[in-house]
Structure 1
């Protein structure tokens, strides 16, 4: 898949590759745009997807090399207010702010959840944030799930935002995660490479699929084994929704506490999955200096690791 910007932020040109060829337009385009199939069908019904001068229908079979222009509707304006919410700031200058996001904090507002997010806190703390992602997600270059803690970088201006986005896409910005999973992983390290798409039975979940998904690649390294549990370090080569959670569950080692992919009782006290964005390395968009940061484990995961090392988990 290739994205080509066409001036207006709400329009995208999608070039069909072998991965999408042969799929229905509503299925293939939904996966490429990370939309639900029903949302994509609505866009197609409204005539928002065209190939050349031809308006596509949902049942159109995508062909290799098709260039399809999709006009996305403008997001509904939401009244996002600054809020005096404490932030754990690791680093800040005129271009970027690196924060340690708490577990349970939503990154950006959405309908029905307008308050208490990282964006609300950033709007209070920072005079300026990049506007590339609009009023709903100002400054947000990448995101973390609500119940994933750890390091995030936010941009204070558009130039910084573009630079950081390009680094993430080119994989020159590096992020590692620490996870506690169920089971004893036998191999010391490995690479998980699959396709990931929306779960057909639960649209709030993602799943490994044989076709119709997007490439997802995760590297993992075992740090410590405790019989029933393993501590692993993960590095993302791609950035799909719930990627680490889905990939570890696919291997048979779901994350401790994960309410979506491992809804089992756990002897540990944690609200959400035991997943922490631990390190971040990137090139500063203005100075060109290579910077590296680490977010310490939150208290709940620190207690889990301590109990595991003491053998107090049965």
Structure 2
């Protein structure tokens, strides 16, 4: 292992867990999840000893971050990505359906970012990292941070609900023209607004709807669960479905189509749209 960064803890008024205190102290570990992974991989030392997630910091400690030798680092996943926006702070890329954003798998968007994006010239440049997730079967826009400070700022924008995300889906069954779904997901508040843009008759499904979705919270599988809860599941969903109304072999008809927010550093308004996939247009040719 090679020493990457070192930090001396100032005098603290009260003790705090390392995994809480350590967020943001290293430019190469801007997120809490990244710090926890480094601790579990035994890459973080406190006063010369391997740290644990249960460790409390009192003040005055020396915290060291190590990295693996280059020949042991994770290999790049060679996978060309469509880049819709990029500057020195952040990027927006298109995630195709059928690939993970991140995780233990080698074939992830996370592992493909370095070869698709230009390294930031800012002092706190880090390996580009996604700042939110899209499900494996979902296509669409993915926001990526390229510096430590930008990743922290984008996380804050998400936390404050200052990033507007719009999705489009094709749902099954008759629906009201618009509505709101306020239903907890995993015992957490979850809220979605929807608008039916078009509907077509289907012999097999009765009715298929092109639906515009705007989640106001970001829970796991929120849109899929919410539409299923009102008996209008998303076409192609293999997890949330009505018996005998499952479409197989075409994937999930859910697409992250639009991102809008104020750039945390340049303050320009970022508004990026990605057109709907071809399979959507086969059902709704007027698109």
- Deviation digits for residues 112-162 of structure 1, max 9, x if unmatched? x2x2210111022235489x9x98xx5111110010000111000111112
Counterparts of 2:17 and 2:178 in 1: how far apart (Å)? 43
Alpha-carbon deviation of 1:266?
5.2
Counterparts of 1:279 and 1:302 in 2: how far apart (Å)? 17
Counterparts of 1:47 and 1:274 in 2: how far apart (Å)? 40
Is contact 1:281–1:291 with CA below 8 Å preserved after alignment? yes
Which residue does 1:25 correspond to in 2? Answer: none
Which of 268, 271, 274 in structure 2 is aligned with 1:292? 271
User: 1:181 aligned to 2:171?
Assistant: yes
Q: Secondary structure at the match of 1:163?
A: helix
Which residue does 1:159 correspond to in 2? Answer: 149
Counterparts of 1:88 and 1:259 in 2: how far apart (Å)? 27
Alpha-carbon deviation of 1:171?
1.4
Larger gyration radius, structure 1 or structure 2: 2
User: 1:116 aligned to 2:107?
Assistant: yes
Which residue does 2:28 correspond to in 1? Answer: none
User: 1:241 aligned to 2:233?
Assistant: no
Which of 72, 75, 78 in structure 2 is aligned with 1:81? 75
User: 1:220 aligned to 2:220?
Assistant: no
Counterparts of 2:180 and 2:250 in 1: how far apart (Å)? 27
Task: List alignment gaps of at least 5 residues for structure 1.
Answer: 1-5, 13-45, 51-76, 198-212
Q: Secondary structure at the match of 1:192?
A: strand
Q: Secondary structure at the match of 2:130?
A: coil
Number of residue pairs aligned between Structure 1 and Structure 2: 220
Alpha-carbon deviation of 1:175?
0.5
- Deviation digits for residues 49-76 of structure 1, max 9, x if unmatched? 99xxxxxxxxxxxxxxxxxxxxxxxxxx
Which residue does 2:184 correspond to in 1? Answer: 195
Is contact 1:142–1:153 with CA below 8 Å preserved after alignment? yes
Alpha-carbon deviation of 1:269?
5.5
Is contact 2:89–2:146 with CA below 8 Å preserved after alignment? yes
1:279–1:264 CA distance, 2 compared to 1 (3 A): farther
1:125–1:9 CA distance, 2 compared to 1 (3 A): farther
Which of 140, 153, 156 in structure 2 is aligned with 1:150? 140
Which residue does 1:270 correspond to in 2? Answer: 250
Task: List alignment gaps of at least 5 residues for structure 2.
Answer: 1-15, 23-51, 57-67, 202-206
Which residue does 2:96 correspond to in 1? Answer: 102
User: 1:171 aligned to 2:161?
Assistant: yes
1:251–1:120 CA distance, 2 compared to 1 (3 A): same
Counterparts of 1:264 and 1:160 in 2: how far apart (Å)? 46
Is contact 1:159–1:285 with CA below 8 Å preserved after alignment? no
Q: Secondary structure at the match of 2:184?
A: strand
With the length of structure 2 as denominator, give the TM-score of the two structures.
0.68
Is contact 1:222–1:233 with CA below 8 Å preserved after alignment? yes
Structure 1 vs Structure 2 CA RMSD: 3.1
Over 6 Å off, 4+ runs: none
With the length of structure 1 as denominator, give the TM-score of the two structures.
0.63
1:47–1:95 CA distance, 2 compared to 1 (3 A): closer
Is contact 1:177–1:275 with CA below 8 Å preserved after alignment? yes
